[in-house]
Amino acid sequence: MSYTIQHIAKLIQATAVIKQEVNIEYLIIDSRKITFPSTSLFFALHTHSRNGHTFIAEVYERGLRNFVIDENIDTTAFPDANFLKVANSLIALQNIAIAHRKQFETLQVIGITGSNGKTIVKEWLNLLLQNDYNIVRSPRSYNSQIGVPLSIWQINSTHNLGIFEAGISTYNEMDKLEKIIQPTIGILTNIGNTHDEGFENKEHKFLEKIQLFKNCSVLIARENDCKIHNPVVPSEKFKPTVLTWGFSNNNEFVIQYINKQKDNATISFLYKNKEQQYIIPFTDEASIENAITCICVMLVLKFESQNIATKIALLQPVEMRMQLKKAINNCYVINDSYSNDIASLNIALDYLKQQSGNQTTTVILSDILQTGIPQNDLYKRVSAIINQKKAHKFIGIGEQLNKHKHLFENSIQQTAFYNSVEDFLLHTNTHHFKDEFILLKGARLFAFERINDWLAFKVHQTVLEINLSAMVHNLKTFQNHLQPGTKLMAMVKAFSYGSGSVEIARLLQFYKVDYLAVAYTDEGIELRKAGISLPIMIMNTDEAAFHAVVEYNLEPEIYSFNIYHTFHQYLLQQGITNFPIHLKLNTGMNRLGFDEQDIHTIATLLQQNNTMVVQSAFSHLTSSEEAADDDFTLHQSQVFLQYCNTLENKLGYKFIKHIANSAAALRKPFLQMDMIRLGIGLYGINNSKMQSVFIQPVATLKTTIAQIREVKKEDTVGYNRKGKLQRDSKIATIRIGYADGFKRSLSNGVGAVYVKGKFAKVVGSICMDMAMIDVTDIDEIQEEDEVEIFGTHISIEQVAQACNTISYEIMTSVSQRVKRVYMEE
């Protein structure tokens, strides 16, 4: 469904400058994610760190000609573009979505909110109902003030059920989302602690969330969370019939018992005086609660209990994160088994482009099922998207893709088609894939995990999971605390604190940080070879690396007269002038940098010789996270500014000034100056000690159990008989040792790991490649069970404290032989 540009102008009450007639099919808010520019409308939105109007020229260059703006700009610079001027671009986006939703007033829509489980419930309902409805739903976690309008825009006349989630972080947000979604059936998953800081109290947050349901016919909620009958909610403002589930007989859905077995759980229901039983293939509490919610929805939709039981037993875990893993022949595989539709395909292709840089890209796609779109139209559209995203190779798997292969063969460099995964594996050799990024995008029916396993780079079972979505959250958290105009330099030295330099740098480049910093020249070279174009500061360089610094356009730190003179001589020999450098000033760290007595001399040399130009001057704070040293931090900043003033007066030009690290940027905003250096905070460590700042853990170190044995009291475990048992014990050997980064100082009960919902202490000495843990008190533990070394349940800070060291050391100590797996939600 499309709208004319004139119609949209009327809907959003815009002052319009229309140069050409066009039908709008796509709404765009990200300059990096344009697929069909001629029929797209770009909304120049404001965020804390970005102004969409600054990207209009870039978007115009990419062929897009339709813009919604809320600032005055020189439209004559874009002679054939349409501009719709409004008071607020975000409100205009929301108003278009509201108008679009009203075109489908008879559409049944399920609206979901809560603190946890929204996306799981949405995806499970899609799996359970997809054979009975043609469903439109939120892509991934598109549940924000921006994401919800984009989700609603997907609705077309073929759909007969919508499933949309809504998330809020403060008051007065849900009312807007309710007007956009207009749900007919409501689901409240739960009310937890997420985003508590945006509300006065829990009751306030509850009242805000339930605004989504005020015009629903039915609301389904957990008994423990649903307070609809509380007198603080005026009944005349709340229309739905409230159906709760729980163990008490006051609920419409009465849970009689939940019986957990080894691999599944049996739930006994009482609904409308009829007893029902359902077996779900999960035993964890969160999955059980989410499955109960789905069962309640299906009962409300009048599904027969036997039909529900059949479907619910086939539920599978929903992988909500795209995984990036090292694969055979120097390849990387992005495994996106989360969903397979047009919207999620676009998202996955953007991620493929973000991660691949300049390397070859291959897309392996299955048939896209149950879209309601005629097959020829569907695959013509898919072919156009693949071509627009510039994938180098395309492999189609499924009868429909094979049938429509002529739509792909003329527009994509290399193509191949197979009727099934079995057919693909039979006729394809792993040698066909080398030095490329491979996207796996398949409907669950096709079981693409077989291809994923076939391509996997075989290593031992210890992995470091890097949650890229958490890293983006942390980046945006710091950006939201920046003063207007303050730039951000991200530290990716030491293999990005152990997380993987190239992968992290690609993410940061995609999210438009201003600078990167690495420790040594070879790290910068690696980033350049991977297609990173951001400015890169080299913090430690020497004469042997000067040629590479210039060749790869890297910007060295100049911290002494010796390094200045040797680099100056090199530049003279090469005939190079005004090469960008960063001047290191010593204000109290006493490690590297020019001292007070050096400032006038280095400024004179820079001015007279003209071989270098100062991009920035900076210094290191010694203890910005320590309140006890705040006076010294202030002293350092004052000395730094004095040095900078001397330099600028002598040089005759301004440069970037930066002294604030992660902690200083949060604790002392006045120290942000022109730029901050974001290091450990980006990777999930909040050493500012500010409780109001929520930083998500990025890295999770995991391994598995190799063997479990019974060991008698008084027997010993490990080298030198250090682990003497005080009771008959069950000892598990796990596949990680000090060569992997599991510190030996955690031996003999000092450290613990997390397995099967409980903590297990280390027994005996940690070995080079393995360690032993006491699992005596953990029920139903098995060999191959997953073990967390640090992550969600054991923080890096806790491990560092147990080792009597700092978080930096723990993160950077994880061995390169440990496989990095990258996740994006």
Residue of 434, 654, 719, 724 marked active site = 719
Residue of 493, 584, 668, 743 marked active site = 493
Residue 172 to residue 211: CA distance in whole angstroms: 9
How sure is the predictor about 498, in pLDDT bands with cuts at 50, 70 and 90?
low
Taking residues 239-243, report their average pLDDT: 88
CA quadruple 96, 97, 102, 103: dihedral sign: positive
Whether residue 215 is predicted with pLDDT greater than 90 in this model: the reply is yes
Catalytic, 493? Answer yes
Torsion of CA 127, 130, 133, 136, to 10 degrees: 70
Catalytic, 719? Answer yes
Residue 825 to residue 809: CA distance in whole angstroms: 28
What percentage of the chain has pLDDT greater than the value 90?
65
* Lowest model confidence (mean pLDDT) among 100-104, 183-187, 230-234, 702-706: 230-234
Whether residue 729 is predicted with pLDDT greater than 50 in this model: the reply is yes
Whether residue 444 is predicted with pLDDT greater than 80 in this model: the reply is no
Residue 276 to residue 306: CA distance in whole angstroms: 9
How sure is the predictor about 804, in pLDDT bands with cuts at 50, 70 and 90?
very high
Residue 489 to residue 508: CA distance in whole angstroms: 10
Residues in the chain: 825
Encoded amino acid at 62, one letter = R
Using DSSP, state whether 253 is helix, strand or coil: strand
* Model confidence pLDDT, tens digit, residues 533-590: 999 999 998 888 999 999 999 999 999 999 999 999 999 989 899 999 999 999 999 9
In 186-341, alpha helices (H)? 202-209, 285-300, 305-312
* Model confidence pLDDT, tens digit, residues 34-65: 888 999 999 999 987 789 999 999 999 989 99
How sure is the predictor about 231, in pLDDT bands with cuts at 50, 70 and 90?
very low
Model's pTM, two decimal places? Answer: 0.72
Whether residue 806 is predicted with pLDDT greater than 60 in this model: the reply is yes
Q: In the prediction, which pLDDT does 739 show? A: 93
Using DSSP, state whether 292 is helix, strand or coil: helix
How sure is the predictor about 229, in pLDDT bands with cuts at 50, 70 and 90?
very low
More confident residue, 500 or 239: 239
Q: 682: closest CA among 465, 486, 492, 464?
A: 492
582 bridge partner residues: 557, 616
Q: In the prediction, which pLDDT does 494 show? A: 62
Q: Which residues contact 660 (CB under 8 A, 6 or more apart)?
A: 621, 624, 668, 671, 672, 673, 676, 677
Mean pLDDT taken over the chain: 90
End-to-end CA distance of the chain: 29
How sure is the predictor about 237, in pLDDT bands with cuts at 50, 70 and 90?
low
How sure is the predictor about 223, in pLDDT bands with cuts at 50, 70 and 90?
confident
Residue 259's H or E segment, with its range, is strand 253-260
Q: In the prediction, which pLDDT does 825 show? A: 67
How sure is the predictor about 665, in pLDDT bands with cuts at 50, 70 and 90?
very high
Residue 54 to residue 50: CA distance in whole angstroms: 8
Q: In the prediction, which pLDDT does 228 show? A: 45
Q: Which residues contact 30 (CB under 8 A, 6 or more apart)?
A: none
Beta strands in 712-818 (DSSP E): 716-717, 723-724, 729-734, 752-755, 758-763, 771-774, 786-790
Encoded amino acid at 104, one letter = F
- Strands 393-397, 360-366: parallel, antiparallel or unpaired by DSSP? parallel
